[in-house]
Structure 1
Amino acid sequence: MENGECSSQAFTETISVHDFSEKLLEQVVHFHVMKLNGGFLLWVGTSPVLSNLAVSMDSRFDSMPLSTLVLGDSSDTTPTSLAQRLTKKTKKQVFVSYNLPVTDSNLSMLVENRIKQEMELHPDQF
């Protein structure tokens, strides 16, 4: 950039969206992925609610990715731990909004397995 002008060769990447759903333990769970430059946002829920948001990213100082809750109840560690595991798997910055009841650990495991399955089927969407 010279004299405040933007370069015409500036790199721009569009945001891509990928949706999928699965019936898990008698309820339909929806997944919404927004692929970003260098990472992705994953929303999981049964209805259009954004009750929490966590972010995770790799750290050069620790083998475990850093993660924090940006929005929501800090006593619910599900979004931060899921974001952390997805960052460890993908080496990308990951935002997670997990909007399901935390009452059933089997549901959380099924949700995470479904996400991993989708990542194997459509790696270009994450």
Structure 2
Amino acid sequence: MMELSPRAITVHNFSERICEQLVHFHVMGMEDCFFLWVGNSPVLANLSVAMCSRFDSVPLSTLVLGDTSDMTSTSFAQRLAKKTKKQVFASVNIPNNESQLMLLIEKRIRQEMDTFPEKF
């Protein structure tokens, strides 16, 4: 019987100026999951995890680190898990989360996912 080797961890970084803010993206792709950090300074203030479940159409999620009143990372992880069908660790560290800014950030991530699907 042939053993399957686990997928190597891939690292992918990109940046974009969105709504006059320089936003940085860091992706660590792993086997059946990925970690995505979004921010404009090197801070890990919130971290959530989400994964799909056969029992519910909404992915299961929880906040691992950060302010429980800030649901940005959690809802972000849920949307990415639903789209990719993978376990997602997401950290959104943008001060003053404006809905327009977050929509544009998600749009930019979708573009990157379409261009480099192997990184996610």
TM range (shorter): over 0.9
TM-superposed deviation, 1:10: 6.1
Q: TM-score, normalised by structure 1?
A: 0.90
SS where residue 62 of structure 2 aligns?
strand
Q: Deviations over 1:50-79 (max 9, x none)?
A: 001000001111111101100000111110
2:63 matched residue in structure 1: 69
- Any unmatched runs of 5+ in structure 2? none
What RMSD, in angstroms, separates the aligned Cα atoms of the two structures? Answer: 1.3
Q: How many residues align?
A: 119
2:83 matched residue in structure 1: 89
1:34 matched residue in structure 2: 28
Query: Is 1:25 matched with 2:19?
Result: yes
The 8 Å contact of residues 102 and 108 in structure 1, kept in 2 or not, is answered as: no
Whole-angstrom distance in 2 between the partners of 1:71 and 1:103: 18
**Quick one: which of 101, 112, 115 aligns to 2:109?**
115
Q: TM-score, normalised by structure 2?
A: 0.94
Runs of 4+ in 1 over 4 A off after TM superposition: none
Query: Is 1:47 matched with 2:56?
Result: no
SS where residue 23 of structure 1 aligns?
strand
The 8 Å contact of residues 20 and 31 in structure 1, kept in 2 or not, is answered as: yes
2:99 matched residue in structure 1: 105
Amino acid at match of 2:82: K
Amino acid at match of 2:76: L
Q: Deviations over 1:83-116 (max 9, x none)?
A: 0000000000000010002442111111111111
Aligned sequence identity (%): 61
Whole-angstrom distance in 1 between the partners of 2:77 and 2:116: 18
State which structure, 1 or 2, has the greater radius of gyration over its C-alpha atoms. Answer: 1
